[in-house]
Amino acid sequence: MCGIFAVLGCSDISQAKRAKILQLSRRLKHRGPDWSGIHQYGDNYLSHQRLTIIDPAFGHQPLYNEGKSIVVTVNGEIYNHEDLRKNLSSKHTFRTNSDCDVIAHLYEEHGEDFVDMLDGVFSFVLLNTRDNCFFAARDAVGVTSLYIGWGIDGSVWISSEMKGLKDDCEHFEIFPPGNLYSSKTAGLEDGTIPRGSPRWFLVPTTNLYMILRKALEDAVIKRLMTNVPFGILLSGGLDSSLVAAVICRHLEGTKAAKLHSFCVGLEGSPDLKAAKEVAEYLGTVHYEFYFTVQDGIDIKSLAVKMVISCEGSNEIFGGYLYFHNAPNKEEFHVETCHKVKALHKFDCLRINKSTFAWGLEAQVPFLDKQFMDVAMNIDPEFKMINGDKGRIEKWVLRRDFDDEEHPYLP
């Protein structure tokens, strides 16, 4: 993932304006320290700050179709890009192996509706120079950050962070998750039910917990689609420990290098102790860090460019303490939906900004599209604490990973 910045319909197309846009784009340099790119077509500017994760040598952005009439700048990961490439007609020629390269070609065949075909986390701006139109989109949960603003001259400004918009926009705001902005309608879609969002607003009654383990394993493994060193943020709690165990089992089967795990805490904290116990059990290359500036510098020097993190689990499974007070499963489910829909304002924003500030990408498997389809369609009764039935918090997750013959955790 990276940083994107675009100005569309700008009345000033002078060299001075281009230089100003480049200057504003560089405010996002921390998000993508490996490469900077810009494309100008008339009064439209698309720029990109790249953090190389897939196809480091050739996946520079903006990306194009064959004739360069479709231009796109993307922040995100498209996990099903290989399947999407195979399903496109044979007339398409790809310039790179980047997972995002498929977007321009999908647009040629399916128009704006292709957004619903994407399995991933993303925010992007696409410019169609043939029709002189553009549109922008953001993933349904809002894992990637995106903001939109409007200039006095009627131009539309889009940026991964607000710092790109605050100088020149008359007004700017959060680009809502699951929304699409099209120049054809000059407005955002109604985000009541975001594009790509699972239809789990009604209280489910199904017992899908039996396939929960497979869904999480798939969500974790697809996020290991990388050409650079990676690790996991390991707290020693249930969520990060299970994800670490899934990764370790996968790496054993591929004969890849050992997983690197990282824990940050105060000296003597229970998190450090628990994380170390899990790391020793799984055999990870484990690092402990304390709250010092020097340790922060040391972490940066380890050259890990992508980490797995576990945002979303507490919201999906009701892991917060106050969920114990839910009077019934209906209200429990309504609250989990409310928490998940607000993630882009809190946990997703925090992990996005805190990692990209240091040129680091975070992947969040608990917010995987298919995993959420399963997890949010489990009867809430199996998520609730019930002492009479021996159910503690996140019981359904613990139960599905309870393997006495080949235990995941100590």
Q: Give the full edge-to-edge strand order of the sheet including 306-308.
A: 285-289, 260-264, 230-233, 306-308, 361-363
Decide: helix, strand or coil at residue 37. strand
Alpha-carbon distance of 122 to 104, in angstroms, equals 14
Decide: helix, strand or coil at residue 176. coil
Q: Give 3-state DSSP helix, strand, coil % of the chain, rounded to 5.
A: 40, 20, 40
Q: Can you spell out the DSSP letters for 104-135? A: HHHHHHHGGGGGGG--EEEEEEEEETTTTEEE
> Which residue out of 2, 169, 310, 348 is catalytically annotated?
2
Q: For residue 205, which of 334, 390, 397, 381 has the smallest C-alpha distance?
A: 381
Amino acid at 318: G
Phi-psi category of 400—alpha, beta or left, where left has phi over 0 and alpha has psi -120 to 50? alpha
Alpha-carbon distance of 50 to 32, in angstroms, equals 4
Phi, psi (5° rounding) for residue 143? -65, -40
Tell me: cis bond preceding 177? Omega within 30 of 0 counts. no
Alpha-carbon distance of 301 to 304, in angstroms, equals 8
47 contacts: CB under 8 Å, gap ≥ 6: 4, 5, 6, 21, 22, 25, 36, 37, 38, 39, 62, 73
Q: Which residues pair with 231 in a beta bridge?
A: 260, 307
The Cα angle at residue 386 between residues 384 and 387, in degrees rounded to 5: 150
Give the number of other CB atoms < 10 A from CB of residue 357.
11
Is 263 labeled as catalytic in the residue annotation?
Answer: no
Instruction: Answer yes or no: are the C-beta atoms of 125 and 6 closer than 8 Å.
Output: yes
Positions marked catalytic: 2
